[in-house]
Amino acid sequence: MSTTFIPPVTEIITYCSFQLQWPSKLFFPRWYFVLMLLLNYLGKTGPKTPLMAAATFSVGWNTFACSESLEKPLNWLLFNYYLTTCLQSSVNKHRHMFVKQIDMDHVMKAKSIREFDKRFTSVMFGYPTIDDYYTDASPNRRLKSVAIPVLCLNSVDDVFSPSHAIPIETAKQNPNVALVLTSHGGHIGFLEGIWPRQSTYMDRVFKQFVQAMVEHGHELSNM
């Protein structure tokens, strides 16, 4: 999946908001790549989005930094190589659809997500180079243009989203963005306690955010 392919997201949100008449128009996707896609969508559409509010967690803000972090030896061994094989398996099932445009044998030899993106994703979506794709895919570039309330939860120990690449200063300059950082939580974790079997910190924060938007969202139009 490309984190820059905005048209399908626009169509889905428009359909759900106007055809299905979503009552609250809140958007909370729960897949890492879709979260990045959501932020890119919000940055591109600005005040034109039909959404009232949105929330994200563990977003990779700078694709270059995310890739570099995942290419560190231990992170590559634990995460990068396995995820690369998952991506390869997904596209290999449908390789007959891509063989005329992409060298699938070369794709299947990729040893990292960056190599996979260079050989498949960037080519599939028409980018001249992997750098062009990664630049366009990074949500930090569009955060300043977000025009609805967005809650962004990240942990500074998330290897998928290194802390030095989290756009803290940009978030400070946009009153629509609430960037919440925790010392621990990892990637999509935010567990608490010695035996973390109850709701997570993320669950509680998002519940409060949803409640606030549902109860007071109508006040936003008066601000």
Which residue's entry shows tokens 């694709």?
Answer: 63
Residues 37 and 125 in one domain: no
pLDDT of residue 155: 97
pLDDT of residue 65: 98
Residue 50 included in any domain = yes
Q: DSSP assignment of 128-184, as one string?
A: SSHHHHHHHH-GGGTGGG--S-EEEEEETT-TTS-GGGS-HHHHHT-TTEEEEEESS
> Considering 136, 166, 191, which residue would you say is the last residue of a domain?
136
For residue 149 the two structure tokens come to 């309330």
> Considering 136, 162, 197, which residue would you say is the last residue of a domain?
136
> Considering 97, 112, 136, which residue would you say is the last residue of a domain?
136
Supply the range of the domain harboring residue 82. 64-136
Domains in the chain, number:
2
The pTM for the full model equals: 0.86
Give the dihedral of Cα atoms 168, 54, 147, 4; nearest 10 deg. 80
Structure confidence by residue, pLDDT tens digits, 196-216: 888 899 999 999 998 888 888
Structure confidence by residue, pLDDT tens digits, 75-108: 999 999 999 999 999 999 999 999 999 999 999 9
Residues 153 and 57 in one domain: yes
Residue 181 included in any domain = yes
